[in-house]
Amino acid sequence: MSAATVTAPRSVSSVSLTKSPPTVTDPALVRRAVKAAALGNAMEWFDFGVYSYIAVTLGKVFFPSGNPTAQLLSTFGAFAAAFLVRPLGGMVFGPLGDRIGRQKVLAVTMIMMAVGTFAIGLIPSYATIGVGAPILLLAARLVQGFSTGGEYAGASTFIAEYAPDKRRGFLGSWLEFGTLAGYIGGAGLVTLMTALLSSHDLTSWGWRIPFLIAGPMGIIGLYLRMRLEETPAFAAEVEKAESCRPKVPLREMVTSQWKALLLCMGLVLVFNVTDYMLLSYMPSYLTSELKYDETHGLLVVLAVMALMMIVQPFAGALTDRVGRRPVIAAGCVGFLFLSIPALLLIRQGSLLAVGLGMAALGLLLVCFTAAMPAALPALFPTRVRYGSLSIGFNVSVSLFGGTTPLVVTALIGATGNMMMPAYYMMAASLIGGAAVWFMTESAGRPLPGSAPAVES
């Protein structure tokens, strides 16, 4: 049986949350939805993993300079630039997803992500075309940023609206499982290439290989997403409107949801600052700032991400039992009190100490990666869920998450204080903790504006 909503004669009671008949979910269809959504997230983070781990090489290819720090800053500047257009992508794709459907928009974002990543692998080097090389790199990053503006909010909304209420945390956690899988795939490929190729080969042609792989990945992801049906929650909204969903003005998405948007931005801030700090910045921190052996540093971070993947589904199931708020709060408290000890371990330099410090940060990060895919969509009603979540998520990521590597690198350069990463994560945890204090628990409850979702 496919996912369907039992309908009733139209009346005020029949469309209210408490009176609506339940939506009975189809387990096979839910699994397909989770796989398709997670693959898109995996592709996005495959690119991030490649870009972060090969940042030093990209600096040499696109930003030749005698100063390694200047090269790294330029590379991370291009990395951060993509996040500046993410809110624009969210403002376009989010409202569109609330109007024409989640599945159609997610297919478009998949195509754009694949094209943007694949294009990077074709760009000539600075030595070949001069200043045109970094300009083309920036253009490709902007295409990626624009497309990802509609990706995470759409994927998390897609899974949340398909999942039964009592298993939304567990099923949503597979979205971030895809993130980790994509990151490990990208970072692992760079690590293998670093070990097998000489520095000259890596700089001259080897760096292109990971980006060119995005083409086949995009085709597979598009195929999976095109085979999916629209979510039951959105289908019910269309049925109530008796046609295509009416356009909701962007202004209304903000003004009518400003409290939820502030909560969303606070939660996303702590989630993404710690995420990008650990997964994007730490590889470069180990090699550029601490002069740690490049290959061993990459392997340590890969091992931590593998540990996070193992824990991720269990942590997601835990949020269904104890709630999203306690799990997210535990992560905030952990980062507040353990960031300094963890970074001191990492700075100690031995392989064991670096591994322990990184593992501690990784397990704390799981508190967010396991809970957020279910917690964030539950902040908004179905009518504006994709659009409002896209706006709140991407504004916060653009201002605080994607800029983390650039800001922390600049802070260390300006102050000479190597503990800046810890201080930055502690500040983010305070903001996230305030958001958790004001948010409402959503575990086991229907999404706002939707009928209860049950498995039978």
The yes-or-no verdict on residue 247 having pLDDT over 70 is no
382-399 residue pLDDT tens: 888 999 999 999 999 888
Q: Please, which pLDDT band fits residue 164 given cuts at 50, 70 and 90?
A: very high
336-350: b (≥16 Cβ within 10 Å) or e: bebbeebbebbbeee
Residues 6+ apart with CB under 8 A from 130: none
Q: Which residue in the block uniquely carries the two structure tokens 């398709």?
A: 36
Within 10 angstroms of residue 126's Cβ, the number of other Cβ atoms is 17
Q: What mean pLDDT do residues 262-268 have? A: 96
The yes-or-no verdict on residue 371 having pLDDT over 90 is yes
Rounded to an integer, what distance in angstroms lies between the CA atom of residue 205 and that of residue 185? 19
318-332 residue pLDDT tens: 999 999 999 999 999
pLDDT of 63: 76
Domains of the chain by residue range: 26-450
55-74 residue pLDDT tens: 778 877 887 765 566 666 67
The yes-or-no verdict on residue 10 having pLDDT over 60 is no
Rounded to an integer, what distance in angstroms lies between the CA atom of residue 397 and that of residue 270? 10
The DSSP secondary structure of 41-77, one letter per residue, reads HHHHHHHHHHHHHTHHHHHHHHS--S-HHHHHHHHHH
The yes-or-no verdict on residue 273 having pLDDT over 90 is yes
The yes-or-no verdict on residue 7 having pLDDT over 60 is no
Residue ranges of alpha helices (H) inside 132-167 are: 132-148, 151-162
Please give the C-alpha separations between residue 191 and each of 68, 100, 186, 197, in angstroms, as whole numbers: 20, 41, 9, 10
Look over the chain and give the mean of its residue pLDDT values, rounded to a whole number: 84
Q: Please, which pLDDT band fits residue 272 given cuts at 50, 70 and 90?
A: very high
Q: What mean pLDDT do residues 153-161 have? A: 91
pLDDT of 231: 84
Rounded to an integer, what distance in angstroms lies between the CA atom of residue 352 and that of residue 345? 9
Yes or no: say if 125 and 64 are a contact pair by the CB < 8 Å rule.
no
- Residue 180, sorted as left (phi over 0), alpha (psi -120 to 50) or beta, turns out to be alpha
Residue 260's SS3 state is helix
pLDDT of 15: 38
285-309 residue pLDDT tens: 887 777 776 667 677 888 998 999 9
Q: What tokens appear for 30 in the block?
A: 């839910």
Q: Please, which pLDDT band fits residue 238 given cuts at 50, 70 and 90?
A: confident
Amino acid at 181: A
180-191 residue pLDDT tens: 998 888 878 888
pLDDT of 82: 75
Rounded to an integer, what distance in angstroms lies between the CA atom of residue 43 and that of residue 270? 23
For the chain, the distance separating the N- and C-terminal CA atoms, rounded to the nearest angstrom, is 11
| Selection from 174, 394, 355 nearest residue 264 by Cα | 394
The yes-or-no verdict on residue 6 having pLDDT over 50 is no
Rounded to an integer, what distance in angstroms lies between the CA atom of residue 293 and that of residue 286? 8
pLDDT of 5: 40
Amino acid at 39: L
Q: What tokens appear for 111 in the block?
A: 């195509």
Yes or no: say if 240 and 232 are a contact pair by the CB < 8 Å rule.
no
Q: Does domain 26-450 have CATH number 1.10.760.10?
A: no
311-367 residue pLDDT tens: 999 999 999 999 999 999 999 999 999 999 999 999 887 888 888 999 999 999 999
Within 10 angstroms of residue 258's Cβ, the number of other Cβ atoms is 12
Q: What mean pLDDT do residues 149-162 have? A: 90
